[in-house]
Amino acid sequence: MKKRVLNAVSAVTAVIMAFGSVIPTVAYDAEASGSVQVYEFENGSTSGGKIFSNGTDGLKRGGDWSDATDLSNFSGKGFSYLDQKGTTVSIEVEVPADGLYELTFCYCQPSDRNKKVQYLNVNGANQGEVSFPYNEKFAETSGGIVLLKNGRNTIELEGYWGYTYFDYLKLAPAPEHISNLSPTAQLSNPNASESAKRLYSYLRDQYGKHIIAGQQEYCGSHNYNSWNSPDVFIKDNEAEFQYILDKTGKQPAIRGIDLLAYNTTSSWRDNAPERAIEWTNKYHGIATLTWHWNVPTEKGSTETAFYVKSASATYTTFSISNALEEGTWEHEVLMADIELIAGELKKLKDADVPVIWRPLHEAEGGWFWWGAEGAEPCKKLYRLLYDQLTNVYGLDNLIWEWTGYTFPTSAAWYPGDDVVDLIGYDKYNAKDGLPNLSAISSTFYSLVQSTDGQKMVAMSENDSIPSIENLTNERAYWLYFCPWYMNYLTSEQNNPVDNLIDVYNSEYCITLDELPDLKTYPITEGSTEAKPFYGDANCDGKVDISDAVLVMQYAADPEKHPISAQGLENADVKNRGDGVDKLDAAEIQKYAAGIISKFN
């Protein structure tokens, strides 16, 4: 289906004419120009779903709908519907060039007060998932950023939780800077140790060029005869690492370690910090630490748990909100645990071992106590933990990683750029007994976009390792992968041996034997100045008609309509280096209207 969007160009022209100059406009077809396009779902196809091509005719109200539910605000002639798992709705779209495109879905999901999640497939390949929060009328939500090829492409939604209505798909070129992958060169801690800076510089140098192989170890002791060799911590219980070596002849560069055994309620310890030191200093690898933070199941209990009641039969009633209030028993436990974990992490600092530190992971899932009471207390706890470990206990060897999601609500959970160095994503999307080797580029670029490209994005946990072909073809430049242990690595339904061999022996994948000497790796401090965000004259983080208007005003009277130094650099898009004038305004107008997809 074709739709003309002359109204967008006309609106732009009308505003700019008001300032005495007219930028030439071009009548264009959305499908042929790379501009914003709209595709109606009733004109698409379905397998097992429903298409309502005559509006709400034949629509039956769901028993769980509220009285306020009203689907009459659909556009076009109707909409489509997914219900059961595995049903699909799809649309054929056409784009003028290979590139990244941003998807927006107009939907109504009146059944689940939380959300429904559907699989997103592009040209037959899974690209991750899209979350559809509860609503009672058709409204828009982001579908992420996907790589499309020049010409015709198929966008498909496949029911996972189903029970969602779809009105239209909006398609637009993704912001140019999202694909540039230029993360900040600065760690969040201005007093980070040299070893942390060296590791971060190495990670940054690989980002977009290679993927680093990682593997999560099994919890517990890894030396069953420690009495005989008390200084050896990596010896036994190495099934995952031996499996990789046997199958590929290689070892992962990154070792994932869980501090699950470390809390003040239990006395059990498994030498996890010592393994991180040994992996880094003896085997010359990289360590990433997560913390399944066990707390008492209830006040006074010596039993521990990290799950909440809705997630597991073994659970805790520990309240994060109470823990953040002084004078509560939960707060006493919280601060004692932080002191204990600081002591364990200090062992690494004293051994000059930098680590990727990933606390409070998967918070938005709500199954752990630190995420069970919403975003605000979780962010407050994260920032408290950051302040305590960084400023109170002086741990300058930590590279802080936040495990994010791509839900419409995820931005509210983000602790802030000032306390985060990396973004992680825990990918578990193998289904129906089959591996999923997709690189889920939609998820990757949505996470990149979530920090405006400032933070590197890693696959901090996963089941199936994406194939090298998919990683490169989809341009999904994950920093590293790290399968969970046991069958998440070793079963064919998660990781086929052929793919494991392919990945580990690819030039694209960095393994343990390919790491440089990270103790002497050069530090890239980077510039503290902001990089140009071309087109963003008013420095509001986006490029739209207001930028073109500002440039026209500036060109007419720079004293009356000044632009900041950064804005002038951003606005110089035409014949860069010759200053900012009306030609730059014309280019920004074309970009805002979708006539061009990037600045040359």
Instruction: Please give the structure tokens belonging to residue 578.
Output: 């010759």
Closest CA to 129 of 443, 408, 458: 443
- Contacts by residues 379-387 (CB-CB < 8 Å, ≥ 24 positions apart): 379/413, 379/414, 379/415, 379/416, 380/324, 381/320, 381/323, 381/324, 381/334, 382/415, 382/419, 383/415, 383/416, 383/419, 384/324, 384/338, 385/338, 385/359, 385/360, 386/188, 386/415, 386/419
Measured at the CA of 551, the angle between CA 550 and CA 557, to 5 degrees, comes to 90
Instruction: Answer whether 159's CB lies under 8 Å from 118's CB.
Output: yes
Measured at the CA of 394, the angle between CA 203 and CA 360, to 5 degrees, comes to 60
Contacts (Cβ under 8 Å, ≥6 apart) of 374 = none
The Cα 524–Cα 149 span in angstroms is 35
Q: Cα 327 to the chain's mean position, in Å? A: 37
The Cα 449–Cα 458 span in angstroms is 14
The Cα 426–Cα 403 span in angstroms is 7
The Cα 358–Cα 309 span in angstroms is 24
Measured at the CA of 256, the angle between CA 211 and CA 280, to 5 degrees, comes to 85
Selected catalytic residue, list 40, 240, 362, 587: 362
Q: Cα 141 to the chain's mean position, in Å? A: 16
Instruction: Answer whether 512's CB lies under 8 Å from 243's CB.
Output: no
Instruction: Answer whether 512's CB lies under 8 Å from 251's CB.
Output: yes
Phi/psi for 44 (5° steps) reads: -90, -155
The Cα 432–Cα 91 span in angstroms is 24
Contacts (Cβ under 8 Å, ≥6 apart) of 141 = 104, 105, 107, 130, 131, 132, 133, 408
The Cα 186–Cα 399 span in angstroms is 11
- Is 31 a catalytic site residue? no
Selected catalytic residue, list 156, 364, 461, 569: 461
The Cα 282–Cα 293 span in angstroms is 28
Closest CA to 163 of 137, 122, 139, 132: 132
Give the helix/strand (H/E) hosting 468. helix 468-473
- Is 461 a catalytic site residue? yes
Closest CA to 77 of 54, 59, 46, 105: 54
Q: What is the DSSP annotation of 326-377?
A: TTSHHHHHHHHHHHHHHHHHHHHHHTT--EEEE-STTGGG--BTTTTT-HHH
Contacts (Cβ under 8 Å, ≥6 apart) of 154 = 90, 91, 92, 93, 121, 122, 123, 124
DSSP annotation of 154: E
Catalytic residues: 362, 461
